[in-house]
C-alpha cells in the first residue's frame, strides 16, 4: 500500500452521503470526487464468496442470516438506484488498479480464505486488512507477512493493550478515531499518537466530523477515512498545494 501523497483519503463505504453505501456507484463516485481509495467491511458467505459491506438493515432477520448467506440469493436483493450487493471479486475487478482498498474484517474464520483471495487476485499490494481483533491480525501475519495490516483502536483500553501486544512491530498502521480528541483533549491525544509514530506506523484517522480537527492534529495522520470526502480533499488541497488541484 503505497502512500504517494502527504496524506491519502479513503472514502468510508464510498460516497455514501449521496449514494447507497457499499455499492458500486457509491465507490466509483467517490473516486470521481478524488479519493485515493475506499474503506469497507467484508464478510464470507456459506458458499465461500466474500461480500462487501453487508448491512443488516437491507434484510429481515427471518429471511437472511449471516451464518447461512448464499451469494446467489444476495444477488437477487435490489438496493436503491438499481444497485446490487457486491462480491469482493467484483469490487477488485471494477475499480481501477491504483485504487487503495482497506478491508475491515471481524470474522476470524474467514481470514485464511481472504488472504488466499487477495494473493490470487493480485490485490494484496494495494490492500490493507484492518481489525480490532488481535487474533485476526496475528493470523494474517502467520499466513502472509507481506499483507498490510491495520489495528483498529476504538477505546482507551485498546490504546493500552496495543502498547503491550507482541505483533506491533509487524503492523503497517493503526486506525484511530478522532473522537478520542473529545475524550483525551488535543494535546493528550497527540501524545498517545506519538507513541505509534515513533514506531514508524502509519496513522489512519477515522471519524473526522469537523474539518477543524484536521488542523488541531496536523502532522499526526498519514491517511483519513471519512464520509466528508469532498470537504477533506478541499482542505488538503488548500493545505499542501494552495488550492491547486494536482490530479
What CA–CA distance (Å, rounded) separates 79 from 34?
25
Query: Beta-carbon neighbour count of residue 35 at 10 Å?
Result: 27
| Per-residue pLDDT at 225 exceeds 50 | yes
| Per-residue pLDDT at 27 exceeds 80 | yes
Instruction: Give the tens place of pLDDT for each residue, 210-224.
Output: 888 899 999 999 999
Instruction: Give the tens place of pLDDT for each residue, 123-151.
Output: 999 999 999 998 999 999 999 988 999 99
Query: What's residue 247's pLDDT?
Result: 46
| Per-residue pLDDT at 206 exceeds 80 | yes
The contacts of residue 115 (CB under 8 Å, 6+ apart) are 124, 129, 140, 143, 144, 147
| Per-residue pLDDT at 60 exceeds 60 | no
Distances (CA, A) of 247 to 34, 38, 110, 167: 8, 17, 37, 37
What CA–CA distance (Å, rounded) separates 85 from 106?
19
> Residue length, the chain?
247
Query: Which of residues 120 and 209 earns the better pLDDT score?
Result: 120
- 3-class secondary-structure state, position 190: helix
pLDDT, mean over the chain: 87
Average pLDDT over residues 177-200: 88
pTM exceeds 0.75: yes
Query: What's residue 162's pLDDT?
Result: 72
Amino acid at each position: 500500500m503505497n502512500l504517494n501523497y502527504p496524506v491519502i483519503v479513503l472514502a468510508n463505504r464510498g460516497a455514501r452521503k449521496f449514494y447507497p453505501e457499499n455499492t458500486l456507484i457509491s465507490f466509483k463516485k467517490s473516486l470521481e470526487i478524488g479519493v485515493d481509495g475506499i474503506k469497507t467491511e467484508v464478510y464470507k458467505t456459506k458458499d465461500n464468496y466474500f461480500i462487501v459491506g453487508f448491512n443488516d438493515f437491507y434484510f429481515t432477520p427471518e429471511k437472511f442470516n449471516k451464518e447461512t448467506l448464499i451469494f446467489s440469493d444476495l444477488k437477487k436483493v435490489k438496493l436503491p438506484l438499481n444497485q446490487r450487493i457486491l462480491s469482493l471479486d467484483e469490487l477488485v475487478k471494477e475499480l481501477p488498479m491504483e485504487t487503495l482498498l482497506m478491508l475491515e474484517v471481524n470474522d476470524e474464520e474467514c481470514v485464511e480464505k481472504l488472504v488466499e483471495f487477495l494473493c490470487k487476485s493480485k490485490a494484496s499490494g494495494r490492500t490493507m486488512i484492518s481489525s480490532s481483533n488481535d487474533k485476526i491480525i496475528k493470523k494474517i501475519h502467520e499466513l502472509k507477512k507481506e499483507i498490510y495490516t491495520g489495528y483498529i483502536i476504538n477505546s482507551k483500553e485498546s490504546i493500552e493493550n496495543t502498547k503491550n501486544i507482541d505483533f506491533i512491530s509487524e503492523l503497517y498502521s493503526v486506525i484511530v478515531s478522532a473522537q478520542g480528541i473529545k475524550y483525551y483533549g488535543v494535546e493528550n491525544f497527540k501524545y498517545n499518537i506519538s507513541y505509534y509514530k515513533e514506531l514508524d506506523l502509519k496513522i489512519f484517522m477515522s471519524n473526522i466530523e469537523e474539518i477543524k480537527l484536521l488542523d488541531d492534529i496536523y502532522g499526526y495522520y498519514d491517511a483519513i477515512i471519512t464520509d466528508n470526502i469532498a470537504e477533506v480533499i478541499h482542505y488538503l488541497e488548500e493545505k499542501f498545494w494552495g488550492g491547486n488541484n494536482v490530479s
